[in-house]
């Protein structure tokens, strides 16, 4: 479920839509969390679906370390990629704002943390744009992501967390907020794509020509 202070807006014909803040969202706020309405599609379930679903899953879901595809039920599925994202994945069930997100600013994340199964061309325009987002970006950026996450999450106990009661697994966040558990390292839930076959991602139906992901520009 996406943070309540957001709305869907049209960005451009190339990018399509994006998610924008309607109010200030402080650094350390959970901006998205897995809820009971989100669809978790196991590899076996994906094989049962008609082939026409393959492109939808590829474009709008993310992969967990267990090989499940998670399809957001709400506008969270329109969050776009940026190489300088407003939020990062705290786990494969939550994202956290790594800077204050201003009203009217687009909520973005880093698709390199989402266990993508194809490389994505990126034209996000951020300083230092990587040009290509890869499934093994964790090998190069994992420590940078982890440092930004720990800095941001240090503020989490002091800012409102409206998504907490709506999470599918609220105990995980409660334990981190109370200091009973540490946020996991990105290496715990970001699996390099070349190792995906053993984890079940090879069962994700492929599309003939992924080209530029609609949410990576």
Q: Would you state the pLDDT for residue 61?
A: 94
Q: Among 214, 5, 10, which residue's Cα sits nearest to residue 97?
A: 5
Domains and CATH numbers, the chain: 6-195 (2.170.270.10)
Q: Among 90, 118, 49, which residue's Cα sits nearest to residue 175?
A: 90
Residue 16: beta bridge partners?
12
pTM, full prediction: 0.89
Q: Tens-of-pLDDT digits for all 217 residues of the chain?
A: 999 999 999 999 999 999 999 999 999 999 999 999 999 999 999 999 999 999 999 889 999 999 999 999 999 999 999 999 999 999 999 999 999 999 999 999 999 999 998 899 998 999 999 999 999 999 999 999 999 999 999 999 999 999 999 999 999 999 999 999 999 999 999 998 644 433 333 334 333 333 333 344 4
Q: Would you state the pLDDT for residue 199?
A: 37
Can you tell me the distance from the alpha carbon of 123 to that of 121, in angstroms, rounded to the nearest whole number? 7
β strands within the chain, DSSP E: 6-12, 16-21, 30-33, 39-41, 61-63, 69-71, 80-81, 87-91, 94-97, 108-109, 120-121, 132-133
Residue 7: beta bridge partners?
20
Q: Would you state the pLDDT for residue 117?
A: 85
């Amino acid at each position: 479920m996406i943070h309540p202070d957001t709305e869907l807006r049209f960005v451009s014909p190339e990018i399509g839509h994006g998610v924008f803040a309607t109010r200030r969202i402080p650094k350390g706020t959970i901006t998205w969390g897995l809820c009971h309405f989100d669809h978790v599609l196991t590899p076996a379930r994906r094989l049962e679906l008609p082939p026409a679903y393959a492109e939808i899953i590829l474009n709008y879901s993310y992969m967990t370390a267990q090989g499940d595809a998670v399809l957001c039920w709400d506008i969270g599925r329109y969050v776009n990629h940026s190489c300088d994202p407003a939020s990062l994945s705290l786990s494969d069930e939550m994202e956290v704002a790594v800077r204050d997100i201003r009203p009217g600013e687009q909520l973005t994340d880093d698709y390199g943390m989402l266990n993508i199964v194809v490389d994505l061309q990126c034209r996000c325009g951020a300083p230092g744009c990587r040009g290509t987002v890869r499934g093994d970006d964790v090998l190069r950026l994992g420590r940078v992501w982890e440092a930004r996450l720990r800095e941001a999450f240090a503020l989490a106990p002091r800012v409102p967390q409206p998504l907490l009661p709506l999470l599918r697994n609220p105990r995980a966040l409660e334990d981190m907020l109370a200091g009973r558990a540490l946020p996991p390292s990105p290496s715990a839930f970001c699996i390099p794509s070349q190792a995906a076959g053993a984890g079940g991602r090879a069962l994700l139906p492929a599309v003939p020509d992924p080209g530029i992901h609609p949410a990576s520009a």
